[in-house]
Structure 1
């Protein structure tokens, strides 16, 4: 299975008339945040493949449609009545299944001001804990907790930066260590030098920065 991962940038190769031919063998699309929903809609329209997305800390015009409320200092509630729009499925703070692929997702970044979709490490940890029952169900039903962890922010110490805005979540390391996804796909960290490291193996998980676009071949990446 080939998976197209995108985040943070309207990639000219994806956002082009050649995309359908260039990505003709893609089976699944993962959008890791900070992308206009019109871009997500375009990808769905052109590639016509199952697509999942999370929100970042920008491009949040439609965030309120998927969350019942959010106040500074409190995690967002999930509005389960709207799970599918623009042809794509929202994976934020959920555990989902697409074919044989088990996906868990979270939205947002570390809190650096009072903006929307920002969380302290403790708040994000609380959001992760709410997903544990479904992860345990996966383990009992399918023999594993999750295959892909889709987020916007990276884990602390892997691909992140030292400025407050771009620090990763410490609790994501707990998630990786505990539930052992094969892949973690994140955005948020812009790669102005494309030679900069974007793939890191950490314990049981391959962590991938999806900035612009990146293709995973499930069972090996490209």
Structure 2
């Protein structure tokens, strides 16, 4: 399975007339946050592949439509209104989902740094991960594994993150990786201005990928 991962920047290769040909063998798209929803809509319409997205700490105009109380870090209920404006993509924030045989868990947001929308302390994010536990346990019983891909906006603490508060990673993500052992973690949030900067890290049994702009992974664990 070939997966296109995007985040944080409208990539000129993706946002071009050649995208359909350039990415013709893509099976799935993962959007790791801080992208205009119009861009997500464009990707869906051009590539016509299953697309999953989460929100970051910017481009949050539509965030309230997916959460009853956008200012509450503990509220993850879907909005009861019309979500036909959902751009053909599936929201994976604080959910455990399945795309054919691929198991996906997702979280939205970044570390709390200025009390803005979709920002969380590490403790708050940990409790939100715990809410996904029943579905993760079901996956283990039903499919023999908890999750294949962990889709987030922020990185884990100490891996690809920065020293400033805004770009600090979540320590609880390390707990999640140790406990549930996804094959991949795909995150955004950390801009890569230096082409030599590391964007892929092997940590325990997980390959951690910074999806900034765009990156393609080939996942052979799904048949």
| TM-score relative to the length of structure 1 | 0.96
Alignment-derived partner of residue 121 in structure 1: 122
C-alpha contact (below 8 Å) 1:184/1:206 kept by paired residues: yes
Alignment-derived partner of residue 76 in structure 2: 77
Query: Does 2:118 match 1:139?
Result: no
C-alpha contact (below 8 Å) 1:108/1:153 kept by paired residues: yes
Query: Does 2:52 match 1:52?
Result: yes
Alignment-derived partner of residue 185 in structure 2: 184
C-alpha contact (below 8 Å) 1:138/1:146 kept by paired residues: yes
Pairing of 1:1-222 with structure 2 (within 5 A)? 1-71=1-71, 74-79=73-78, 81=80, 85-219=86-220
Runs of 4+ in 1 over 6 A off after TM superposition: none
Q: Quick check: 83-92 or 166-175, which moved more?
A: 83-92
Deviations 1:88-132 (A, max 9, x none): 000000000001100000000000011000000000000000000
Q: Write the distance in 2 (CA, Å) between the matches of 1:207 and 1:24.
A: 25
Q: Write the distance in 1 (CA, Å) between the matches of 2:4 and 2:13.
A: 12
**Over aligned residue pairs, what C-alpha RMSD do you find?**
1.3
Shift of 1:80: 6.0
Q: Write the distance in 1 (CA, Å) between the matches of 2:71 and 2:118.
A: 9
Say which SS state the counterpart of residue 104 (structure 1) adopts: strand
Unaligned 5+ residue runs, structure 1? none
Q: Write the distance in 1 (CA, Å) between the matches of 2:46 and 2:217.
A: 19
How many residues get paired?
219
Q: Write the distance in 2 (CA, Å) between the matches of 1:83 and 1:55.
A: 16
C-alpha contact (below 8 Å) 1:75/1:119 kept by paired residues: no
Say which SS state the counterpart of residue 134 (structure 1) adopts: helix
Q: Write the distance in 1 (CA, Å) between the matches of 2:154 and 2:96.
A: 18
Unaligned 5+ residue runs, structure 2? none
Q: Write the distance in 2 (CA, Å) between the matches of 1:159 and 1:166.
A: 9
| TM-score relative to the length of structure 2 | 0.95
Say which SS state the counterpart of residue 153 (structure 1) adopts: coil
C-alpha contact (below 8 Å) 2:13/2:19 kept by paired residues: yes
Distance change in 2, residues 1:217/1:83 (3 Å):
farther
Say which SS state the counterpart of residue 21 (structure 1) adopts: helix
